């Protein structure tokens, strides 16, 4: 599943091609996504412009400015909220580029660029967001962004008090901090030297400070490398992510630790596979 670095890579890749551009046509080839495509999708969008793209957790937000033909017309009428699901990607195409199998939605712009949504498994969705992000239940109760000043070790330590849950699923809880999925939680815990099985409430403030730093370091590095391509992910320009080459533990069980050469172990935590080094992580 695309995680925060992949979604941020997508945002950065498509933004120069869509921000400020007028939508002249909307093509929906497959409306049956995880959330059905709104019936008035075309009416709301044709004739409007895309504002400045943003990201909240793993959601992309595309403000719609100007006047479409639907009920949401008018400046600042709302936003599109887009989630890539398990296998989705947003890419930039041009007029004349024939759609491929599983290319479900096109937003066609006046300059000939196309924002094309591809999703083989159809677990992603695009929906209309009429009010602000805080009004939508999918966004209202999310924790802070991990690269923001609101996220630090003190927050992790405070929220962990009395918690028996293992630290890895605790770190992946979107109410604690958003966007730290399976890949990057595994990598951050390795950098911080913390066993992913350890109870969240039995980790010191000092170690949580190290973990917060590790989370930011891992995510920043992944974004700089264009995310991680394990199978489906490509950026908005069709490029794979290269962070896979830098993974220390994720997907490497049975191999030697890059630090100490101990055999990496595989366990299941919160129904997710977790790989760790039994020597470096305690």
Catalytic residue set:
2-3, 58, 272
- Segment holding 149, helix H or strand E: none
Helix (H, G, I), strand (E, B) or coil at 90: strand
Residue with tokens 């930039």: 92
The CA distance from 64 to 230, in Å, is 32
Task: Report the Cα–Cα distance between both ends of the chain, in Å, rounded.
Answer: 28
Beta-sheet strands, E only, within 19-76: 23-28, 48-50, 54-56, 59-66
The CA distance from 124 to 85, in Å, is 4
Residue 153 φ/ψ, nearest 5 degrees: -65, -30
- Segment holding 13, helix H or strand E: helix 4-18
Core vs surface per residue 212-222: b (16+ CB within 10 A) or e: bebbbebbeeb
């Amino acid at each position: 599943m695309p995680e925060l670095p992949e979604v941020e890579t997508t945002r950065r890749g498509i933004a120069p091609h869509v921000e400020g551009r007028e939508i002249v046509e909307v093509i929906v080839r497959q409306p049956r996504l995880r959330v059905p495509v709104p019936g008035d999708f075309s009416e709301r969008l044709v004739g409007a412009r895309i504002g400045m793209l943003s990201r909240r957790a793993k959601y992309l937000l595309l403000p719609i400015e100007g006047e479409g033909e639907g009920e949401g017309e008018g400046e600042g009428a709302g936003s599109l909220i887009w989630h890539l699901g398990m296998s989705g990607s947003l890419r930039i195409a041009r007029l004349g580029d024939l759609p491929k199998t599983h290319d479900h939605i096109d937003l066609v712009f006046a300059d000939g660029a196309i924002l094309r949504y591809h999703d083989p498994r159809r677990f992603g969705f695009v929906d209309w967001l009429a009010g602000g992000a805080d009004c939508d239940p999918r966004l209202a109760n999310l924790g802070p962004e991990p690269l923001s000043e609101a996220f630090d070790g003190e927050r992790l330590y405070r929220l962990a008090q009395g918690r028996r849950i293992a630290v890895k699923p605790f770190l992946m809880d979107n109410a604690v901090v958003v966007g730290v999925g399976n890949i990057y939680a595994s990598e951050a815990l390795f950098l911080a030297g913390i066993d992913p099985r350890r109870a969240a409430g039995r980790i010191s403030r000092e170690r949580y400070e190290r973990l917060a730093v590790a989370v930011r370091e891992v995510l920043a590095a992944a974004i700089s490398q264009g995310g991680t391509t394990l199978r489906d992910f490509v950026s908005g320009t069709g490029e794979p992510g290269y962070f896979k080459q830098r993974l220390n533990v994720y997907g490497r069980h049975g191999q030697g630790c890059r630090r100490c050469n101990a055999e990496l172990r595989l366990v299941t935590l919160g129904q997710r596979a977790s790989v760790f080094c039994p020597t470096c992580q305690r």
